[in-house]
């Protein structure tokens, strides 16, 4: 299996940063707290906070599952396409 490059990691971090910004923007527009979204999505508040920060652990970009993203967007009452950034990085080497 090919090894990831720093440029690929940077592209994923940039993608996740936009995703995090979109989650926060839609949450605020829905007038919900992080705790509200987390509870209604079946997540812990800590996990949801990490998604809004764009990380899963210190120094590691977030990588939520499709199921988790769908649960969050259902709570926020927006389509998944509204939170996903339009320019996905090339992940074929992963």
Domains of the chain and any CATH numbers = 6-79 (1.10.260.40)
pTM of the model: 0.87
pLDDT above 60 for 1: no
Please give the pLDDT value at position 60: 87
- What does the alpha-carbon distance between residue 28 and residue 37 come to, in Å, rounded to a whole number? 10
pLDDT above 50 for 81: yes
Stronger pLDDT, 66 or 10, i.e. the higher one: 66
- What does the alpha-carbon distance between residue 63 and residue 82 come to, in Å, rounded to a whole number? 17
- What does the alpha-carbon distance between residue 16 and residue 83 come to, in Å, rounded to a whole number? 10
- ∠ CA 32-71-78, nearest 5°, is 60
pLDDT tens digits, residue range 6-35?
666 888 899 999 999 999 999 999 999 999
Please give the pLDDT value at position 31: 98
Inter-axis angle of helices 45-53 and 66-76, to 10 degrees? 90
């Amino acid at each position: 299996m090919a090894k990831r490059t720093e440029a690929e990691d940077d592209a994923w971090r940039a993608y996740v940063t936009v995703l995090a910004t979109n989650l926060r923007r839609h949450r605020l527009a829905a007038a919900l707290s992080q705790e509200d979204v987390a509870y209604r999505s079946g997540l812990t508040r800590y996990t949801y906070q990490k998604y809004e920060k764009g990380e899963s652990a210190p120094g590691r970009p977030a990588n939520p599952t499709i199921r988790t993203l769908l649960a969050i967007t259902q709570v926020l009452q927006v389509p998944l396409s509204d939170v996903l950034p339009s320019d996905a990085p090339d992940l074929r080497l992963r």
